[in-house]
DNA sequence: ATGATATTTTCATGTTTATGGAAATATGCG
DNA sequence: CGCATATTTCCATAAACATGAAAATATCAT
């Protein structure tokens, strides 16, 4: 991850339809969803959805694969991890005055990670 | 945090100068930096920096306070936390197939949080 | 092959965004 | 008060972005 790629990823998420698609795919898990189903879910024409998905994929936030005529899209968890790590890099210069609380709070919103007090 | 505010926050970060300022403030810690010093650091005119800082502040990512003629800006850690939590909400529907690894990896890049294997 | 389905690419249009000079506002100093 | 410093607000302009119809591509079924 570098600055330019981070800007691309953030720009990809900084749009209502694309953020909704991304969050839907985060929820959906590794099996992802079909392009057409995403267009239906967001109530946009297929060409519009295709533009959005291309932008998310170019940004490294989703990945896609084809099975016969259907194209699957899923969240790219490694890409998300790289982005979030980049955003918080060198937080407070290693002094976890604010950062430790911040990050453990995010983790503690999920189940089964085990960093919580 | 809601969808609209998340889009605002992501849009605020999706620009080269603003992302650099944000990361600089994340590094700087709670004491923050002076507006003029940020303009100097980024080599942009004060009016341009003022636009950028206003957008970051409106997005809930930085906060500001005045001491005499100087205006301080600092990262708003609570705002960042709200954004990151929103992005990862309901990841994999609670089944931490991918999410637990993702989030603990972010935490383990820092020191002293203690969720790491 | 032909036709049907799923998706992308091309292209045009209107909207939003980034930039920075100039003027305005706020504060401190003598 | 009058001047200097720090920052913001106003304004105009150029560049980037979102949208979706139409045409193109890919795959499958008969």
Query: CA B87 to CA A40: how far, in whole Å?
Result: 22
pLDDT band at B89 (very low <50, low <70, confident <90, very high): confident
Query: Residue ranges of the domains in chain B?
Result: 3-79
Question: Which residues are CB-neighbours of B114 under 8 A, at least 6 positions away?
Answer: A115
Question: Which residues are CB-neighbours of B10 under 8 A, at least 6 positions away?
Answer: A10, A11, A13, A14, A19, B83
Q: Which nucleotides of C are covered by protein (CB under 7 A)?
A: 5-10, 17-23, 26-28
Query: A88: nearest CA in chain B?
Result: B26
Percent of chain B with pLDDT over 70: 79
Token pair listed for A80: 């998300």
Token pair listed for B103: 């989030």
Mean local confidence (pLDDT), B92-101: 67
Instruction: List the pLDDT tens digit at each of the 117 positions of chain A.
Output: 999 999 999 999 999 999 999 999 999 999 999 999 999 999 999 999 999 999 999 999 999 999 999 999 999 999 998 999 898 887 777 666 666 666 666 655 554 444 444
Interface of B with A in 10-49 (CB under 8 A): 10-11, 13-16, 19-20, 22-23, 26-27, 29-30
Nearest to A104 by CA among B75, B99, B2, B112: B112
Q: Which of A16, A91, A109 sits opposite B26 (nearest CB)?
A: A91
Query: CA A80 to CA A60: how far, in whole Å?
Result: 8
Lay out the sheet containing B62-67: strands in order across: B33-34, B70-75, B62-67
At residue B114, what are phi and psi to the nearest 5 degrees?
90, 25
Q: What is the DSSP letter of B91?
A: G
Q: b/e for A89-105, b at 16 or more Cβ within 10 A?
A: eebbeeebebbbebbbb
Pick the CATH number of B3-79 from 3.20.20.100, 2.40.110.10, 1.20.5.50, 1.10.10.10: 1.10.10.10
Question: What is the CATH architecture of A1-112?
Answer: Orthogonal Bundle (1.10)
Lay out the sheet containing A70-75: strands in order across: A33-34, A70-75, A62-67
- Strand B33-34 vs strand B70-75: parallel, antiparallel, or unpaired? antiparallel
Question: Which residues are CB-neighbours of B8 under 8 A, at least 6 positions away?
Answer: B58, B59, B60
């Amino acid at each position: 991850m570098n600055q330019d790629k981070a800007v691309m990823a953030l720009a990809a998420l900084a749009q209502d339809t694309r953020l909704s698609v991304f969050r839907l795919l985060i929820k959906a898990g590794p099996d992802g969803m079909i392009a057409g189903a995403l267009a239906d879910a967001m109530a946009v024409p297929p060409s519009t959805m295709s533009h959005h998905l291309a932008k998310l994929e170019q940004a490294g936030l989703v990945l896609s694969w084809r099975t016969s005529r259907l194209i699957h899209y899923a969240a790219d968890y490694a890409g998300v991890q790289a982005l979030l790590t980049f955003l918080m890099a060198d937080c407070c210069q290693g002094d976890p005055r604010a950062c430790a609380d911040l990050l453990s709070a995010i983790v503690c919103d999920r189940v089964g990670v085990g960093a919580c007090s």
